[in-house]
Structure 1
Amino acid sequence: MKFLFTFSFFLIAFLNIQAQNIKVLNKVTQEPIINVAIYNIDKSKSIITNFRGEADISEFDDAEVIYFKHLSHVLKKLTKQELTPSRTVFLESNTQGLNEIVISASKFQQYKKDIPQKIISIRSQSVQFANPQTSADLLANTGQVYVQKSQLGGGSPMIRGFSTNRLLITIDGVRMNNAIFRGGNLHNVISIDPFTIQDTEVTLGAGSVIYGSDAIGGVMSFYTQKPRLSHTDSLLIKSNVVVRYASANDEKTSHFNLNLGYKKFGFFTSASYSDFGDLKMGKYGPDEYLRPEFVITTQNGDEVIQNSNPLIQRYTAYNQLNLMQKARYKPYENLTFDLGLYYTTTSDIPRYDRLIRYNDDILRSAEWNYGPQQWFLSNFQITKLSSRSNLYDKINTTMAYQNFKESRKDRNFQSVSRNIRAESVDAYSFNVDLEKRLSPKTQFYYGLEYVFNKVRSEGKEENISNSAISPTVSRYPNGASWQSSAIYSSIKYKPNPKFVFQSGLRFNHIVSKANFEENNIFLNLPFSTSKNTAGALTGTAGISWSPNEIMQWRLNASSAFRAPNIDDIGKVFDSQPGTVVVPNETLKPEYAYGGELGLKLDFDSKLILDLSSYYTYLDNALVRRYYTLNGESDIVYDGELSTVQAIQNASKAWIYGFEVGLKMPITNRLELSSQYSIIGGTEEAGSVEVPIRHVAPSFGNTHLVWNYKDFKLDFFLNYNDDLAFNDLAPSEIQKEYLYALDADGNPYSPSWYTCNFRTQYLLNTNTTLTAALENITNQRYRTYSSGIAAPGRNFILSLKYSL
């Protein structure tokens, strides 16, 4: 009995000591955080977490306040009595600190405070809390990127008055822009699965020195999750399952990922599937946005049907599948091999803005669908750090292959002819990026890039009554190619912690080739082949200066360019009813020259203001203008007499703007933040200046966020100013069917706002519940230039289970 009592005493004591062990994890990724400093108020007691994120806090008293501090996470304090039963402490990543790291500025890690340009950082925990349906929605949630939508399966970002092929998208360092990225609204960003995103960095302003052609208005850099390796001899297994439902479009989404990690090998598998129904708009707003009728096709032909609920936007439903497989091999601490395979496909996506057009009083189209938007990427990277080479300290080599497939299928009301145009692009790229420390104060970055695109395009006409197929003009010249070679360098000089100077140069050589013989059967162009050669030299210089603890100044000047691609020199399509765009081989690059001045004021983290102003001059702008083909200003296209247009270097543009951001902790648990952007600009149209199409109205958001333990609440407003009739670009005025009508019967874009609520609750260490009620007041609105109305009142529920 004495032995049993003694054994029980020691067993209880042992269990009590074990209970003093805690684990510190990242709140979102659930990964252990190494080297967290744990201490009391006078720091007389302190310990550090090990590589498992574990620490023994037995020396601390139960009621004693314990601080948890880590450089990349928000300081947290609590007592042992406040610990959860699982003895787990969750820290939030600090995305606002001065020591935040960004990659996109040079393709190597730098402190964000050293960059003279403004960069928006969106970390994985923010993505998971925002819970976006697509990556386009993820960008819109920042309040600094404006997003246009022509259909539910879309999202065309606008940054500082630029959009589409004047913005660059990268995924894990690979250029996504290809030879057929167009000047019209572009929706490729939705191919990136938001569930796989680890970090997103949006560079506001030119990025041509690092990224070359197209990076005029900004660069959107997406970085997906990497396989995690094990720090022990045991296999590291991590898995997440997510299900989500949204009421406005009857969204049903499921996601699964699995990480297998060994000491030197790691594998990450991800799969997501989303099914979206027809989108329901809000109840209160302009009647012009309603969907009173739609077309159905029966055995008896096309019929116009009255919509039983005009708030339902028929047809907008589609589905999407995203797959990703990544592998990592790390034989040494300074050497890593990464392989990534990405695949995205959609169903047919109805282009809603074309389905609501009328010809007199009759709906113009019986059907208008984008075919499945398919994207495949194979990406292989070799990264070596801490080299003793005289040429570099760090080197990253990237080899990638991408394949893009897209198509368009349309048929006029009561017509038996369906027009089908399909495109495929094979894109190969090779990059070498290097970093060398020349002195303790000077970093040198340099690299080279080669990109080759091959375009395949076909056009055909199908008779739906007898399935007969006949050839017709294709959208692009079949077999066209686009290639770019470049070399770049930049230097960073930091003489002291308060001052940083960065400058860079890039030279690009671009060649486009096209053969129009197949399309000349239909168009009779004055040329059968085309070769467009362009060289471009761009540069940047800027400073970041922090004269004291409160103030940080950013000043940057840069030039950027966009070389004509196959979409510019060789496209044939109907830009709008009664208008056709034809090829033009005499194009030159357009150039942008701009400057940015920014000021950040940090009043001891009690109030943070981030102010930016910018100005951009676009010269030799590639724009769509009236044209003649063989002396004719009108030709027959798809059976309709159409006015001829072509892309031309026929304009100049001036764009300017101001941005302000605010962050203010009200209490330890309550924080206010806000963003607001004002943009203006005009372009040259003949002898007059007119508004620019992609200059968005003033817009922003305001968030009030409350955090308590494992509970997070966010009440936020999104808002948007109006664009009066006189402020619309001429090309937008011609799309009257997209807009509301003012008192004079003219199209305009009304102002709007939404009230929204979002919450996240960590049920336990494995389960996270996220819920939101968006557009609470059920407003009916369209974002500027969009062809589809935004969701009405929308309830979203998501459940995540982690192992």
Structure 2
Amino acid sequence: MKIVILLILFFWIPPALRAQDSDSLRTELLKQVNITANRHTESSLSTIGSVGIIKNLSNSSQPGSTTPDVLMGTTGVFMQKTTQGGGSPFIRGLTGNQTLTLIDGIRLNNSTFRYGPNQYLNTVDPFSLDRIEIYRGGGSVAYGTDALGGTIQLFTPTLAYASKTQAYGKVLARYGTSDMEKSIRVQGGIQRERLALQAGISVKKFGDVVGGDTTGRQTPSGYTDIDFDLKGKLKISENWNVILAHQSVNQRHVPVFYRYQLDQYALNEFDPQKRSLSYARLEGSTTKNLWSKITFITSYQTSQEGRNSQKIGENSLRKESDGIKTWGSSLNFQSQLGKNWTASSGVEVYYDKINSKRIDINQAEGSEISKRGLYPDGSAYLNYALYTLHQYRLNRWKVDYGLRYNGFHIKLNDRDLGTIKISPKAFVGNIGLAYQPSSFSNIYLSLNTGFRAPNIDDMGTLGIVDFRYELPAYDLRPERSYNFEMGYKIRSGSWAMGLALFQNYLNDLITREKVPGEQINGVDVYIKSNTEKAQIRGAEFEAEYHLTEYWRIYTSATYSYGKSVSNQEPLRRIPPVNGRVGLSFHRNQLTLTPEMLWAGAQKRLSAGDKSDNRIPEGGTPAWSIFNIRALYDWKILSLQVQAHNLFNADYRTHGSGINGPGRSLWIGLTANF
């Protein structure tokens, strides 16, 4: 009842507050940003669902030189960091292979993405990105498996033509005190009437993270990172363009810090951590209503994860390597089926080929033994789908609905158990209803069904994962989710607000089950099975208000409550209530932003949380940190300064394996020419 009264009050806004927006008053929340959460372009205000946008990454004073750091503090996103070279976003209580990440519309998730926190988002160079969209609670119908918690879309810059030949360039350098970061980015491009090209290279050296208060230097946690990206756009006719792109990431000697601190390892690192993506995109428009816009993408992606580990006092050095090659193709066409009826439909196919190996080296004897890798070598994973999404508008009302059929063919070549084949299928849909009382407000209800098909990591893992020994499992079914949401958005004059309430029912969750009485080398043995049902409910709130022409205040908060229905205990790794509050000043060339990030204590722990040595006994303490960001533009130069954690607080985000940086200063200088 209180919520209904609140919404009614928002409908009857005093006329004085309904002033037209002016460019000088608009902010990221106030702006009507176009987004692509459901494979078609629409404004963030009219979207049926909760969407966050981070724009102009290459030109802003966003904190951090890693993509996970850029996302930290974003409404509805909670960042867990197992180590400095990682960063796993939680969206509505879920992370890892239960959230989906795409780059320029291409799946980053592959068939070896792990359950729980992982480091894969950190293999995307933020200096190569233009914007990020976060679709909370949806994405399975539009983009397929894994989007149980939501979808993160990463977009590289859109290239533009020019009537006269123009060349441009940029050099960016960043430094973090205590040698926590030394980075440089060199980028250049050319624009012509029918051709545009851009290329960039980023070289980064991250030192050990120096924590706050009594933590000190956390050794080892530093690593090196070299990234390259190239993108070209060619106009082949007035209505058709071809885009070719390549990006590669090469990270070396990335320590898994908590293994050294908590698990008695002399060596535990990712080396190398590589990823590359090449794609061709053909897009154009026609005069046909059934296919007014057509987009075809073909892509090739590779991922290599090397792992080196050695316990203190032991002679055996383990070297593991998992390589994944992914071929992908998709065809999407948008239709104008009626005056108020549009649709986006298509087909997509992804095919993974897995290479996995392990070598144990006895350094005392100089001998090597080749063993089965973490996954069955030579395994394959085929993912194919058909989908259609529709939007219908009638006056102030809007209806969104969609359907997806997804099939899989999974083949595992286990050297001990032989060849295993399964072919799971999923059929999901979504429906949403919105009412816009005015051009600047929107109230909506939605149901998004989602799924996550079992992948190679679920089925084929054999060996030590975290602090468990896992056995393969070959009879798994897709996980399912049913996300109900109601929300309200308003953008009016000098203020904006968004509120969402959600309830997510999760069935057939794939969980690790302990094998009673079994241990291997003193480590408990687990196997995965579809045994768990769970519920996650919560609320997300964000607001901002312009105090004057130059000053604005903003805030956001996210609350999640997870429960395992099967085990009658808290759901594992649920983030605590968290948020941020900030004040921003912008005038002429100067932007100044003091900001506080905070999280409450998380004392609701599952049995798995209690046995996780990264989580303190009794739960993770509450924390808050104060930062100040400043940006000053002067002709071709731009100076970015961030004073981080001014009060030198010791803090660790829930479930992380490393503490955040203490009092420190980051300085960046960009030259555009």
Residue 799 of structure 1 corresponds to which residue in structure 2? 669
Residue 227 of structure 1 corresponds to which residue in structure 2? 159
The 1:750/1:716 distance shift into structure 2, 3 A limit, reads same
Aligned with residue 730 of structure 1, among 607, 612, 615: 607
Residue 368 of structure 2 corresponds to which residue in structure 1? 469
Structure 1, residues 367-402: CA drift from partner, whole Å, max 9, x if none?
1111111001011000012x0235300000000000
CA distance in 1, matches of 2:196, 2:58: 25
1:365 aligns to 2:265 (yes or no): yes
Aligned with residue 128 of structure 2, among 196, 218, 232: 196
Aligned with residue 411 of structure 1, among 277, 291, 310: 310
Is the 1:248–1:792 contact (alpha carbons within 8 Å) kept by the matching residues of 2? no
Q: How many residues align?
A: 654
Deviation at 1:516, TM superposition (A): 1.0
Aligned with residue 240 of structure 2, among 335, 348, 352: 335
Residue 325 of structure 1 corresponds to which residue in structure 2? 230
Residue 16 of structure 1 corresponds to which residue in structure 2? none
Matching residue's letter, 2:477: K
Name the SS of the counterpart of 1:356 in structure 2. helix
Name the SS of the counterpart of 2:213 in structure 1. coil
CA distance in 1, matches of 2:450, 2:59: 30
Aligned with residue 513 of structure 2, among 608, 612, 625: 625
Aligned with residue 607 of structure 1, among 456, 471, 495: 495
The 1:719/1:249 distance shift into structure 2, 3 A limit, reads farther
Residue 100 of structure 2 corresponds to which residue in structure 1? 168
1:383 aligns to 2:254 (yes or no): no
Is the 1:256–1:271 contact (alpha carbons within 8 Å) kept by the matching residues of 2? yes
Residue 554 of structure 1 corresponds to which residue in structure 2? 444
Name the SS of the counterpart of 2:60 in structure 1. helix
Is the 1:98–1:111 contact (alpha carbons within 8 Å) kept by the matching residues of 2? no
Aligned with residue 518 of structure 2, among 616, 622, 634: 634
CA distance in 2, matches of 1:623, 1:536: 19
Is the 1:228–1:260 contact (alpha carbons within 8 Å) kept by the matching residues of 2? no
Matching residue's letter, 2:404: R
Q: What are the residue-to-residue correspondences of 1:584-599 with 2, within 5 Å?
A: 584-599=473-488
Residue 488 of structure 1 corresponds to which residue in structure 2? 387
Name the SS of the counterpart of 1:564 in structure 2. coil
Is the 1:396–1:434 contact (alpha carbons within 8 Å) kept by the matching residues of 2? yes
Aligned with residue 351 of structure 2, among 440, 444, 452: 452
Name the SS of the counterpart of 1:668 in structure 2. coil
Structure 1, residues 3-52: CA drift from partner, whole Å, max 9, x if none?
xxxxxxxxxxxxxxxxxxxxxxxxxxxxxxxxxxxxxxxxxxxxxxxxxx
The 1:74/1:150 distance shift into structure 2, 3 A limit, reads farther
1:783 aligns to 2:642 (yes or no): no
Residue 13 of structure 2 corresponds to which residue in structure 1? none
CA distance in 1, matches of 2:229, 2:509: 38
Name the SS of the counterpart of 1:124 in structure 2. coil
Name the SS of the counterpart of 1:787 in structure 2. coil
When structure 1 is superposed on structure 2, of 340-349 and 619-628 the one drifting more is 619-628
CA distance in 2, matches of 1:450, 1:752: 44
When structure 1 is superposed on structure 2, of 670-679 and 545-554 the one drifting more is 545-554
Structure 1, residues 481-501: CA drift from partner, whole Å, max 9, x if none?
1111100001110122x2211
CA distance in 2, matches of 1:575, 1:426: 22
Residue 423 of structure 2 corresponds to which residue in structure 1? 533
1:103 aligns to 2:8 (yes or no): no
Matching residue's letter, 1:537: F
Residue 718 of structure 1 corresponds to which residue in structure 2? 597
CA distance in 2, matches of 1:702, 1:641: 47
The 1:448/1:723 distance shift into structure 2, 3 A limit, reads same
Matching residue's letter, 2:459: I
Structure 1, residues 233-272: CA drift from partner, whole Å, max 9, x if none?
xx11111110010115521000011111111111100111
Name the SS of the counterpart of 1:452 in structure 2. strand
Is the 1:201–1:222 contact (alpha carbons within 8 Å) kept by the matching residues of 2? yes
Is the 1:158–1:694 contact (alpha carbons within 8 Å) kept by the matching residues of 2? no
Normalising by structure 1, we get a TM-score of 0.79
Give 5+ residue unaligned stretches, structure 2.
1-19
Name the SS of the counterpart of 1:129 in structure 2. coil
Deviation at 1:473, TM superposition (A): 3.0
CA distance in 2, matches of 1:125, 1:215: 24
Is the 1:322–1:345 contact (alpha carbons within 8 Å) kept by the matching residues of 2? yes
Residue 499 of structure 1 corresponds to which residue in structure 2? 397
The 1:550/1:102 distance shift into structure 2, 3 A limit, reads closer
Structure number with bigger Rg: 1
CA distance in 2, matches of 1:414, 1:459: 21
1:696 aligns to 2:578 (yes or no): no
Is the 2:405–2:428 contact (alpha carbons within 8 Å) kept by the matching residues of 1? yes
Give 5+ residue unaligned stretches, structure 1.
1-70, 77-91, 285-289, 291-310, 359-363, 521-526, 741-745
CA distance in 2, matches of 1:655, 1:574: 29
Residue 5 of structure 2 corresponds to which residue in structure 1? none
CA distance in 2, matches of 1:115, 1:698: 25
Is the 2:431–2:447 contact (alpha carbons within 8 Å) kept by the matching residues of 1? yes
Deviation at 1:141, TM superposition (A): 3.5
CA distance in 2, matches of 1:696, 1:504: 30
Is the 2:29–2:496 contact (alpha carbons within 8 Å) kept by the matching residues of 1? no
The 1:771/1:180 distance shift into structure 2, 3 A limit, reads same
Q: What are the residue-to-residue correspondences of 1:769-780 with 2, within 5 Å?
A: 769-780=639-650
Aligned with residue 515 of structure 1, among 406, 413, 434: 413
Structure 1, residues 397-442: CA drift from partner, whole Å, max 9, x if none?
0000000000211111110001111100000111001101112211
Q: What are the residue-to-residue correspondences of 1:418-433 with 2, within 5 Å?
A: 418-433=317-332
Residue 582 of structure 1 corresponds to which residue in structure 2? 471
1:653 aligns to 2:534 (yes or no): yes
CA distance in 1, matches of 2:82, 2:465: 14
Structure 1, residues 60-105: CA drift from partner, whole Å, max 9, x if none?
xxxxxxxxxxx9x9624xxxxxxxxxxxxxxx98633464211232
Is the 1:328–1:338 contact (alpha carbons within 8 Å) kept by the matching residues of 2? yes
Name the SS of the counterpart of 1:785 in structure 2. coil
CA distance in 1, matches of 2:222, 2:289: 57
CA distance in 1, matches of 2:487, 2:585: 29
Deviation at 1:610, TM superposition (A): 0.9
Structure 1, residues 135-168: CA drift from partner, whole Å, max 9, x if none?
0111114243111111111101100011000111
The 1:96/1:276 distance shift into structure 2, 3 A limit, reads same
CA distance in 1, matches of 2:440, 2:160: 38
Matching residue's letter, 2:361: E
Is the 1:248–1:791 contact (alpha carbons within 8 Å) kept by the matching residues of 2? no
Is the 1:155–1:186 contact (alpha carbons within 8 Å) kept by the matching residues of 2? yes
The 1:760/1:215 distance shift into structure 2, 3 A limit, reads same
1:400 aligns to 2:287 (yes or no): no
Aligned with residue 120 of structure 1, among 52, 59, 82: 52
Structure 1, residues 342-361: CA drift from partner, whole Å, max 9, x if none?
10010111101111125xxx
Residue 573 of structure 1 corresponds to which residue in structure 2? 463
Name the SS of the counterpart of 1:547 in structure 2. strand
Name the SS of the counterpart of 2:314 in structure 1. coil
1:750 aligns to 2:621 (yes or no): yes
The 1:126/1:499 distance shift into structure 2, 3 A limit, reads farther
Percent of residue pairs bearing the same amino acid type: 24
Residue 296 of structure 1 corresponds to which residue in structure 2? none
Name the SS of the counterpart of 1:546 in structure 2. strand
CA distance in 1, matches of 2:247, 2:37: 21
1:759 aligns to 2:610 (yes or no): no
Deviation at 1:554, TM superposition (A): 1.8
CA distance in 2, matches of 1:367, 1:762: 44
Matching residue's letter, 2:398: V
Is the 2:602–2:620 contact (alpha carbons within 8 Å) kept by the matching residues of 1? yes
Higher relative contact order structure (alpha carbons within 8 Å, sequence separation ≥ 6): 2
CA distance in 2, matches of 1:690, 1:351: 29
Deviation at 1:545, TM superposition (A): 1.5
CA distance in 2, matches of 1:488, 1:439: 19
CA distance in 2, matches of 1:136, 1:438: 40
